[in-house]
Structure 1
Amino acid sequence: MVSKGRAPVVVALLLGVAACDGEPTPVTSATASATAFIAPPLRLPEAAPGAVCPVAEARTWNGPGQAGRVLGDGPVHPIADYFRDGSVLELRPGDRQPDGTYEKKVRWIGAGYSGPVLVRAARIDVPGPAGVTFSYTGEKRDGGHYAYLTREDNDLPATTTVAGPGCYAYQVDGATFSVTIVFGAVSSTG
């Protein structure tokens, strides 16, 4: 039998032991929203093998951050300055990974949006892998890279991985938008 005077000591002792195991993760609007985000279906266009890739047009960026041009209608965009002619990745021999894919630096930028964002990529002319990874935020999820943006203006260092020369597309989904952006990839000897 525990006396009334000892019960708070036991509870305090148990709380102290729990605190020693690490800080509990507080449930915030970001973590609650992250678990509530449901990825929409992937809806990418198709391109015929060998046909001209219907790439997105780069447009001038007047928003916050460092970018001359972006691809897509946003509010989260790949920066077109990383693409030749604004919409074609140049694949150099040094970009080739041990698994045969190519990895290129492509920063992303966002303005006027905070909340969940999922970026998925796929090859659309023939089968082949593709993907995006933000460097300092988020995780692999739902066949792409997921992050919860806590500010309305974001600069997101990232890489894009492609199988090789061909036609590709990003699908960028957030709580209030879904955007598809087509881009190409070509071999370069430089």
Structure 2
Amino acid sequence: MVLRRTTPRFVLLVISLFLLVACSSVLPVTTKTVTHTTSVQVKASAPTTLQMLQQRPLHLPVLAPGAACPTSPEKRIDPRLGIVQGNGPAYATIGTETITSPAIFHYADAQHFANGVDTQGWGGQKVLWFINPSYHGLVLVRGHQLDGTHEIGFDNASSPQIMHQLVIDTSVGGSPWPNSSGYTRIQAPGCYAYQVDGTNFSYVIVFEAVVQN
């Protein structure tokens, strides 16, 4: 009689254990995954030095109608460089042989520049830029007419296409100072200004453009 009462209990216990094991095999197991990341957000790449310089707005002087062109003074900062304009560390030589006021930029008009071949209405003159060796980095030059609507154009031997900015990389070097030569392109005589931007400076150079063929 004792065996008859204990056997069903034993069988029920075995069945219960079997069902428990079967159910646990299909239950989802929650695990914690640890990953190592530097950031959970996707960040846009930082702008390059050139992009930051290009984003600076032009701050050219406003010239009243009929006012004289307020040209930047010419000076000598090194006997090897000739006469230059600019506050530094970037200086422009516009081809004058003596210090004059106002500073005159003599250029050939579109009919005479490069013998008038494919000038697209742009005249010009060669300008040499010198950078003080104490400055390391890029220099961005842009410009516009102060008494009119014309932009300043730029080109050089490596890229005859007219551009509206000049980028100077001081790592290229040069003697006696790092330098860059190219052509400033003009469409009409008048009062113009370069804006010269570097990582820690921004200033303008004003000149008067006069046709001299």
Q: Normalising to structure 1: TM-score of the pair?
A: 0.68
Distance 1:126 1:74 in 2: 27
Alpha-carbon distance, 1:88 to partner: 1.2
CA contact (8 A) 1:119 1:132 kept: no
Gaps of 5+ in 2: 1-47
Distance 1:132 1:184 in 2: 17
Is residue 59 of structure 1 aligned with residue 101 of structure 2? no
Distance 1:170 1:73 in 2: 12
Is residue 90 of structure 1 aligned with residue 106 of structure 2? yes
Alpha-carbon distance, 1:148 to partner: 2.8
CA contact (8 A) 1:105 1:158 kept: yes
Q: Normalising to structure 2: TM-score of the pair?
A: 0.61
| Match among 114, 139, 154 for residue 132 of structure 1 | 154
CA contact (8 A) 2:83 2:96 kept: no
Alpha-carbon distance, 1:35 to partner: 5.6
Residues 1-190 of structure 1: matches in 2 within 5 Å? 33-34=49-50, 37=53, 39-62=55-78, 66-82=80-96, 85=100, 87-93=103-109, 94-95=112-113, 98-111=119-132, 112-133=134-155, 135=157, 143-150=164-171, 153-188=177-212, 190=213
The superposition leaves residues 138-174 of structure 1 with CA deviations (integer Å, 9 ceiling, x where unpaired) of x998x52223321673121111111211000000000
Gaps of 5+ in 1: 1-31
CA RMSD of aligned residues (A): 3.1
Change (3 A) 1:135 1:76: farther
Secondary structure of 2:88's counterpart equals coil
> 1 or 2 for the larger relative contact order (CA 8 Å, sep ≥6)?
1
Alpha-carbon distance, 1:106 to partner: 0.7
The residue identity in structure 2 corresponding to 1:147 is I
CA contact (8 A) 1:58 1:80 kept: no
CA contact (8 A) 2:54 2:140 kept: no
**Percent identity between the aligned chains?**
29
Distance 1:80 1:103 in 2: 11
Q: How many residues are aligned here?
A: 155
CA contact (8 A) 2:74 2:83 kept: yes
